Structure 1
Amino acid sequence: MTLWRIRATVDDRPGYLSVLTASLALRGVNILALQVHTTEAGAVDDFLVDAPDTIDEADLLAAVERGRGRDCWIARSEARGLVDQPTRVLGLATRLVRDPDATGEALRALLGADAVTWRPVRSAEAVGVDRARMRLADGVGGVFELSRPAPDFTPAEYARAQALVELAATAARRAAEQVTLVLPDGAELGVRPAGPDDLPAVLRLHEQCSARTLHRRYLSEAGRPSPDRLRRLLDPARGMTLVVVEADSPGTGESVGVDSSGAGESIVAMASLLGEGDQAEAALLVNDDQQRRGLGGALLRRLLAHADGAGYAAVDLHVHASNAPMLRMLHRLGRPLTLDRDGPLVTVTFPLAVRACPTGV
Structure 2
Amino acid sequence: MALWRIRATVDDRPGYLSVLTASLALRGVNILTVQVHTTEVGALDDFLVDAPDQLTEADLRTAVERGRGRDCWVARSEARGLADQPTRVLGLAIRLVRDPDATGEALRTLLGADTVAWRPTPAGPLGGVGASTMLLADPAGGSYELFRREPSFTPAEYARAQALVELAATVARRDADRITVLLPDSAEVLVRPATVDDLPAVLELYETCSERSRQRRYLSGAARPSPARLRRLLEPARGLTLVAAVDSGGEAEPVVAMANLLGEGDEAEAALLVRDDWQRRGLGSALLRRLLGHAERIGYAAVLLHVHAENAPILRTVRRQDRPTSVDGDGSVLTVTVPLGVRPAELPRQPNGDPGGAPGAGAPPGSAGRWPQVAG
- The two structures have a TM-score, normalised by structure 1, of 0.79
Q: Which residue of 2 aligns with 1:293?
A: 281
Write out per-residue CA displacement over residues 83-139 of structure 1, whole angstroms, 9 at most, x where no aligned residue: 110111122122223322211101000000121111133796622222122222223
Q: Which residue of 1 aligns with 2:173?
A: 173
Cα distance between partner residues in 1 of 2:265 and 2:16: 56
Q: Which residue of 2 aligns with 1:256?
A: none
Are 2:163 and 1:163 equivalent residues in the alignment?
yes
Cα distance between partner residues in 2 of 1:353 and 1:32: 57
Are 2:325 and 1:316 equivalent residues in the alignment?
no
SS in 1 for 2:149: coil
Alpha-carbon contact 2:245-2:254 (below 8 Å) kept: yes
The 3 A distance-change label for structure 1 pair 286 and 65 is same
Are 2:125 and 1:138 equivalent residues in the alignment?
no
User: Where do 1:88-99 residues align within 5 Å?
Assistant: 88-99=88-99
Q: What is the number of equivalent residue pairs in this alignment?
A: 342
Cα distance between partner residues in 1 of 2:20 and 2:188: 64
Alpha-carbon contact 1:268-1:287 (below 8 Å) kept: yes
Alpha-carbon contact 1:23-1:63 (below 8 Å) kept: yes
The 3 A distance-change label for structure 1 pair 247 and 112 is farther
Q: Which residue of 2 aligns with 1:149?
A: 149
Cα distance between partner residues in 2 of 1:100 and 1:187: 31
Alpha-carbon contact 1:319-1:326 (below 8 Å) kept: no
* C-alpha displacement of 1:327: 6.3
Cα distance between partner residues in 1 of 2:285 and 2:31: 63
* C-alpha displacement of 1:50: 1.4
The 3 A distance-change label for structure 1 pair 247 and 27 is farther
Cα distance between partner residues in 2 of 1:111 and 1:227: 40
SS in 1 for 2:126: coil
Cα distance between partner residues in 2 of 1:204 and 1:273: 21
* C-alpha displacement of 1:279: 6.9
Bigger mean CA deviation after superposition, 149-158 or 137-146: 137-146
The 3 A distance-change label for structure 1 pair 297 and 348 is farther
Cα distance between partner residues in 2 of 1:212 and 1:125: 53
Write out per-residue CA displacement over residues 232-276 of structure 1, whole angstroms, 9 at most, x where no aligned residue: 43345665432213357899xxxxxxxxxxxx6643210124466
Letter in 2 for 1:57: E
Alpha-carbon contact 1:319-1:327 (below 8 Å) kept: no
Write out per-residue CA displacement over residues 32-70 of structure 1, whole angstroms, 9 at most, x where no aligned residue: 100011222221111111122233323222222221222
Letter in 2 for 1:355: V
* C-alpha displacement of 1:30: 1.1
Cα distance between partner residues in 2 of 1:155 and 1:275: 32
Which residue, 260, 282, 293 being the options, matches 1:272? 260
SS in 2 for 1:149: coil
Alpha-carbon contact 2:177-2:192 (below 8 Å) kept: yes
User: Where do 1:95-244 residues align within 5 Å?
Assistant: 95-121=95-121, 126-195=126-195, 198-236=198-236, 239-244=239-244
* C-alpha displacement of 1:326: 5.5
Q: Which residue of 2 aligns with 1:355?
A: 342
Letter in 1 for 2:132: A
Cα distance between partner residues in 2 of 1:288 and 1:65: 75
Are 2:53 and 1:53 equivalent residues in the alignment?
yes
Cα distance between partner residues in 1 of 2:75 and 2:123: 38
Bigger mean CA deviation after superposition, 210-219 or 38-47: 210-219
The 3 A distance-change label for structure 1 pair 135 and 350 is closer
Cα distance between partner residues in 2 of 1:334 and 1:141: 30
Write out per-residue CA displacement over residues 207-228 of structure 1, whole angstroms, 9 at most, x where no aligned residue: 4434443233325544311123
The 3 A distance-change label for structure 1 pair 204 and 156 is same
Bigger mean CA deviation after superposition, 67-76 or 306-315: 306-315
Cα distance between partner residues in 2 of 1:35 and 1:279: 43
- The two structures have a TM-score, normalised by structure 2, of 0.77
Alpha-carbon contact 1:7-1:45 (below 8 Å) kept: yes
Cα distance between partner residues in 2 of 1:134 and 1:279: 36
Alpha-carbon contact 2:122-2:138 (below 8 Å) kept: no
Bigger mean CA deviation after superposition, 30-39 or 114-123: 114-123
Alpha-carbon contact 2:5-2:74 (below 8 Å) kept: yes
Alpha-carbon contact 1:335-1:350 (below 8 Å) kept: no
SS in 2 for 1:89: helix
Alpha-carbon contact 2:3-2:51 (below 8 Å) kept: yes
Cα distance between partner residues in 2 of 1:220 and 1:125: 47
Q: Which residue of 2 aligns with 1:15?
A: 15
Alpha-carbon contact 2:127-2:136 (below 8 Å) kept: yes
Alpha-carbon contact 1:278-1:314 (below 8 Å) kept: no
SS in 2 for 1:12: coil
The 3 A distance-change label for structure 1 pair 281 and 249 is farther
